[in-house]
Structure 1
Amino acid sequence: MIQAKRIVGVLLAMVLVLSVLAACGTEDSQGSPNKKYVLKFNHVLSESEPFHQGFLNWAERVKERTNGGLEIQVFPSAQLGVEEDIIEQLKQGVNVGQNTDSARLGMYVPDIAVMNAPYFVNSIEEVEKLNELPSVKKWMEELENKHGIKVLSFNWVQGFRHMVTNKPIRTPQDLKGLRIRTPGVPIWQESVRALGASPVALPFGEVYVGLQQGAIDGAELVYRNVTGGKLYEASKYISETKHILLINFEVISKKFFDSLPKEYQDILVEEANKAGLETSRIMEQEAEQIKQELIGKGMTIVSDVDIEAFKKAGEAAYEKLNLTEVRDRIYKEMGKTP
């Protein structure tokens, strides 16, 4: 009797396994269209940010074009964890993705950090050109092959970063002695230092409290971050230094990407690029509206900034991190004058 029960148990287990396999479909070396794939995508921004809606649009289009075969689940406000941890997870093959920037990717491929250096590019159109450059393509290949990081798109431009403080900033000298929040990676730290301030590494979610409690004197952010984080309640001025055009990268695990059917891979990349450009242009167009909104909330916009003085000061960041030659090579490939 006991032996019979064991046989029945084994048979039931086999039926269960076979039913699961049948539901998932068979998978070849590059994935199967009959299997459902899920990508959990993390970002640090709030749900009110245009990027969040852009990620939702991307997810909807991918799901529609793959007939539900590939689902992107979007998690705002770092719900899956901090950025660095997510990147480490995806390097190991976990089915997660992260909105990041070249500053953090520069921890793996140092030259790529130049894309977040002071006054590197000035427009969305210039960012589009970067996609076709030999040097940039080489960086992407290195991220994939050496580190397991697949870049889907970097057509996501949040806009120019400015100084958010409680005093007006018009020249690098005005930043002297100020503690300015910036992410804790070399290119951000050195850029803020080169522009005249003392950099303080702090997660975006802690900027509001940091300003209120005086742990920092300011932060360097795009306009939408100021409204999204309600920083107008803790700071009085936005000085339009335009010191960095913030390029964002959408990255996932190369191992996960390679497991997808070729058709899904193409759709994932195509829709990421499309949604990125759409969202970038929306943010560019809404900048003036946000400025007026912030003025209405009591902030003062400082526009008479000595940009040339800041550009000159920013050169120190390139020199400190040995990126001057890298920048000049990229400019040559772009046909851009340094």
Structure 2
Amino acid sequence: MTHSRPTRRAVTLGLGLAAGALSRPRGAAAAPVSLRLSSSLPADPNSAHWLWYDRFTASLKAKAGDAVQVRYFPDNQLGKESDVVGSVKLGVVDMMISGSSIWSTLAPEIGVLDLGYLFPTMDSAGRVLDGPAGEQLSRLFSDRIGVKVLSWGYSLGGRNVTAREPAATPAALRGKKIRVLPVANFVATLKAMGASPTPMSLGEVYTALQTGVIDGMEHDAPTILALKAYEVARHISLTQHICNPQTIVIGNRAFNKVPAEHRDAFLAAAAEATQFQRSQAATIEAKALATLKGNGVTVHECDRAAFRALVTPLWDEFARSYPATKPILSAITQA
């Protein structure tokens, strides 16, 4: 029998691999996996995003050491939300924490969560999204976009109208230019409430309020405090018109970077961070409102029933336009 002689290149490659194996200490840990998490909000204790991230990284370190490290990029450092959603899908950005709303730009059915007065409180939203409705929505993210929902967090309270004048009734809100997220059901909800919705990036809002380009904005109280919007808009009307969740999403490519032996720890840390964030939301909202009042902001109770009556016809309109959301709406309204 004849034996082929190995080529010089093969011998050299084999020696190189052997040398590498000898130089690496047995049992040496692999290099840490580093992931980037994008947020549109400041790294501030009054930010729902930071509250989640801070607990998540502490929990992840306790469970997996330094094997997986997640770096936080606040204030749109990795790009505007409207751009980052596509980057997460493509794997250019690893993770994103945001309101669920921006994902409707890639799968409009997700906009069901933006329908006004769908959830009366954040706690009710959490209970529903922990059940069948949340499972159906997570499949939408996976099947339509190709990303994984790690968990459904809370916004730190429902969204209210913060403006230079009170807007406690549909008549008072009528015609006011109110900044909204650039997504369909935010625009439709504020329009139904009587406002003139003005889509705009969050980073542009302070100057727009200061210069009178807009009359107000809508967001939860802690975000108003974190953005210092109260300096240029001194009235908060407690419309509580949308209680949509925060969505923590990881791209499929990024999730596959997490070593298999640490994936359970990664998911457990996300779940722990979500439960912690939820447990703090109501207290942080109350403290933010108290601080805003101390800073000279006037807080107005609202005729929410009048606003709700104007908005709820949008539910049926949306289900007719996107039939796939009918079972989701049923699961939400019947929960």
Question: Which of 306, 313, 317 does residue 314 from structure 2 map onto?
Answer: 317
Tell me the matched-pair count. Answer: 321
Tell me the distance in 2 between the aligned counterparts of 1:18 and 1:147.
41
Alignment partner, residue 4 of structure 1: none
2:195 to 194, 197, 207: 197
Contact 1:194 1:314 in 2 (8 A): yes
Query: Equivalent residue for 2:6?
Result: none
Q: Separation in 1 of the partners of 2:41 and 2:18?
A: 42
Alpha carbons of 1:96 and 1:167: their partners in 2 closer, same or farther (altered >3 Å)? Answer: same
Q: Could you say what the CA RMSD is over the residues aligned between the two structures, in angstroms?
A: 3.1
Q: 2:114 aligns to what? A: 116
* Structure 1 match to 2:233: 235
Aligned partners of 1:18 and 1:187: how far apart in 2? 57
The aligned amino acid for 2:169 is T
The CA deviation at 1:240 is: 0.3
C-alpha distance 70-172 of structure 1, shift in aligned 2 (>3 A)? same
Question: What is the match of residue 38 of structure 1?
Answer: 34
The partner residue of 2:304 within 302, 307, 318 is 307
Note the 1:115-194 alignment, pairs <5 A.
115-194=113-192
Q: Spell out, residue by residue over 1:88-141, the C-alpha distance to the aligned partner (whole angstroms, 9 max, x if none).
A: 122112352111222222233333221222111133432333344334323312
- For the 8 Å contact 1:112–1:136, the answer to whether it is kept is no
Q: Which residue of 2 aligns with 1:29?
A: none
C-alpha deviation, 1:321, in angstroms = 3.0
Contact 2:95–2:254 (CA<8 Å) still a contact in 1? Answer: no
2:291 match: 293
Deviation at 1:180, TM superposition (A): 0.4
TM-score (norm 1): 0.84
Alignment partner of 2:157: what SS?
Answer: strand
Measured at CA, do residues 154 and 306 of structure 1 come closer, stay the same or move farther in structure 2, by a change above 3 Å?
A: same
2:57 matched residue in structure 1: 59
Contact 1:109–1:139, Cα closer than 8 Å, also in 2: no
For the residues of structure 2 that align with 1:196 and 1:43, how far apart are their CA atoms?
30
Q: Which runs of 5+ in 2 are unaligned?
A: 1-8
Q: TM-score, normalised by structure 2?
A: 0.85
Alignment check: 8 A CA contact 1:159 1:280 kept: no
The sequence identity of aligned pairs, in percent, is 24
Change (3 A) 1:232 1:131: closer
Q: Is the 8 A contact 2:121 2:158 kept in 1?
A: no
CA displacement at 1:65 relative to structure 2: 0.9
What does residue 72 of structure 1 align with?
70
